[in-house]
Chains A and B, each alone.
Chain A
Amino acid sequence: MSASGRTSSAAVPLARRRFLTGVAAGAAALAAGGCARGASTSAQPGTTSISNDNATWDDGYRAAGRELKKITGYTLRPLSNPSVTSYQQVVQMTLQTSKSSDLVKWASGYQLKRLARAGGLTDLTPVWKGYAAKGWVRGTSRESVSYRGKVFGIPLYESYYVLFYSKPVFGKLGLSAPSSWDELLHCAEVLKRNKITPFLASQVGGWPAIEWFQELVSKVDPGFYQQLVAGEASYTDDRARRAMDIWHDFMRKGWMTSPDFDQARGPGALKEGTVGMFLHGTWQASGMSAAGMKPGTDYGAFILPTVRPASQKSVIAESGVFVVPSRASSHEAAMANVGAWLDPAVQRVWSDFLQDSSANPKVRASNPVVASLQRDIARNRRTALVRYWEASPPSLIQGNTNDLGGFMAGQTSPATTLRRMQERAHDEWAAWKRDEA
């Protein structure tokens, strides 16, 4: 080999060595970064970490954590991942590791059942029993936080699906919150005549497409809704068709916003008077405040009336839960905090932050609009129905939500949409039951 060749061959390994050193250094830096990230879920004295998919709630967790510390000695340390999709993936993966956070916010119902079925969650039945003995939980909620008879989630909050409306706009047009279906239709007609879109309906982000479906089906027949989501009734039933026809009719009349209307703009649209009524969870009350609207003065809320006066009254309820990974970094502290979460002193702070109803029925909401809704639910003995998102197997819900989004955009007729939903329900319930067996 020539001298130049030797030089060249000596230079190449040197360059390669440098390159490999660089790669190794980069990998080490990444690993260190990963460890640093993992360290945030590792045990820290006097705190319990909580994985959360809503960063705007962080201050609320910290405030509730200060109350918890007085009882248990541990505060709450929120770790937020605002993308719901990536949050779900991260939680499901970390549950299998030793880097799991101490508490995890999750959905109830079948979302929780699926997580519990995969293993890695602590049985919270004794905690539930303690709460039940004090009357701090609703007995009717137990099924939605259980899997195979064991409780795996402690209610984090309880929200109801209601129609928010602008009091000044209604007052100006001589309208009041409707208490019957005919009154609701009258409100919509008057609003439309005054160039105000009566109802906000959206499929932006996917899941909002379920809101009008669950609401209308349950207000046609709440018993049918319960059977439908339990896989005991067909989506092609006349009652489901009736609900979809009403929805279709509302859209045809121009009573609903375009499906690409972002719900985040809902409070602003109510305030401006461009939208008349906004169907959403009561947790939206904090969004109303953020838009500068005062409860009871600038906005009110009512539960959608039943289509027929004789129908059983109901309300769609949503309840998030806390779960405790069995490999939580500070398991003992997590159990202490989850055991004191529904204490009225903690819930007072938490409910005030959310401006929503507490999962503890003994804690009254301080927001007068939500408190009024709570009284309505109690007075009318409304049946609390599990929100559609949590009420059936997740794969079924996700597919049907897509179909409802297509329906809202005018891609499919009511009949076609329901037929597709039924076909999916048939397959997915069979798969769920097969897996359970």
Chain B
Amino acid sequence: MAPAVLLVTLFLLAPFVWTVYRSFFSDTRTSPFSWFDNYSLFASDPALSRSIQNTLMWVLGTVALPFVLGLAIACMTNAGRFSRLARLCVVLPYALSGSAVAVVWNFMLTTDGAVNQVLTGLGLDSLAQGWLLTWPGNTVVMILANAWQATGVAVILFLVGLQSIPPETLEAGALDGASGWQQFRHIVLPQLRPVSIIVIGMSLVNGLKSFDLIWVLTQGGPGRATETLAVSMYNETFLELRPGAGAAIAVVLTVIVLAASWLYLRRQLDVKGV
């Protein structure tokens, strides 16, 4: 145990304690102790308020979309002639890095990008717009881009879950006259609960810490309109040169991630583990 504890302490706990400590000091040259001044920025800085709004949107989007799409695609591709090919197409984006995904979507979403060119080509000029320029549309399209990538892992997990469902239970339901939807609602879905817990838990944390896609696509801009807390933390620390404010955001973000994960898992996991 001791080496493991040492490593965790050295590389995880000590930096966190230092971050908490730093968050109580101001960002002037002499860095005096400033109590909760850095935390009060959440009330006074409109950029941070917008950052919290965006983070909530990301959490909702990254939980709901991969879950619903992942489940639907897994059910549709669990059996069938072209299911392997379809699965591969959906899962492939998951193998790409967030930055690579962002580069591809940047090509699509800029004002003179592929999406607007297609719309213009179809005579739908009125729908063409600066997808990454206006809030909240820019955050929504980035969430969709993220879902395009993140759905792959949800599909894999749901497929594993579906294949572990005993066929007898479905056969029994069919013999009792249950329709396809009733079988899905009352037989399949309850047996996918353990997998669902994992998918939602992972998506929740990924949504709260989303960074790479946003950074490459908009760098949190225009202005600071598309920042999430993770991007704000980076922006305050390294661009605005306010490490104290950045540390405060890091602490708040960590507390939110831990609290959300704990509350969710505590409700979902019983004593036996699932």
Contacts and interface: CB of A to CB of B under 8 A. Distances in A.
Interface of A: 16, 20, 23, 85, 88-89, 117, 203, 205-206, 258-262, 394-395, 398-399, 402-403, 405-412, 431, 434-435
A260 B132 contact: yes
B172 to A, nearest CB: 42
B137 to A, nearest CB: 11
Contact of A261 (B30, B112, B222): B112
A412 B151 CA distance: 36
> What 10 A-B pairs are tightest by C-beta distance, nearest first?
A406-B223, A409-B222, A258-B111, A435-B29, A409-B133, A405-B222, A260-B110, A405-B221, A405-B223, A402-B223
Contacts of B222: 203, 259-260, 405-406, 408-409, 411
B240 A395 contact: yes
Contacts of A23: 7
Contacts of B134: 409-411
B110 A261 contact: yes
A261 B135 contact: no
Contact of A406 (B30, B111, B225): B225
B8 to A, nearest CB: 13
Contact-residue size bin, chain B (C-beta under 8 Å from the other chain):
20 to 34
Contacts of B7: 23
5 contacts: A258-B111, A261-B112, A395-B242, A402-B223, A407-B223
A350 to B, nearest CB: 30
- From A85, A411, A434, name the one whose CB has the most chain B CB atoms within 10 angstroms: A411
A85 B110 CA distance: 23
Given A260-B133, A431-B28, A409 B225 contact: yes
- From B3, B111, B134, B221, name the one whose CB has the most chain A CB atoms within 10 angstroms: B221
A260 to B, nearest CB: 5
Contacts of A89: 238
Is chain B's binding surface mostly helix, strand, loop or mixed? loop
B28 A261 contact: no
B5 to A, nearest CB: 13
Nearest to B130: A258
Contacts of A260: 110-111, 130, 132-133, 222
Interface string B15-51: 0000000000000111000000000000000010000
B87 interface: no
B28 A434 contact: yes
A316 B135 CA distance: 33
B219 interface: yes
Contact of B135 (A205, A258, A262, A411): A411
Nearest to A269: B112
Interface string B230-274: 000000001111100000000000000000000000000000000
A37 B70 CA distance: 44
A85 B238 contact: yes
Nearest to A399: B240
A258 B133 contact: yes
Contacts of B47: 402
Contacts of B240: 395, 398-399
Given A258-B133, A435-B28, A409 B223 contact: yes
Contacts of B219: 205-206
Given A117-B29, A261-B111, A395-B240, A403 B133 contact: no
Contacts of A408: 222
B224 interface: yes
Contacts of B28: 431, 434-435
A262 B28 CA distance: 35
Nearest to A404: B223
Contacts of B132: 260
A261 B111 CA distance: 7
B57 to A, nearest CB: 17
Contacts of B3: 16, 20
Interface string B105-121: 00000111000000000
Nearest to A430: B28
Nearest to A16: B3
A411 B138 CA distance: 12
Nearest to A417: B223
A402 B231 CA distance: 14
A126 to B, nearest CB: 28
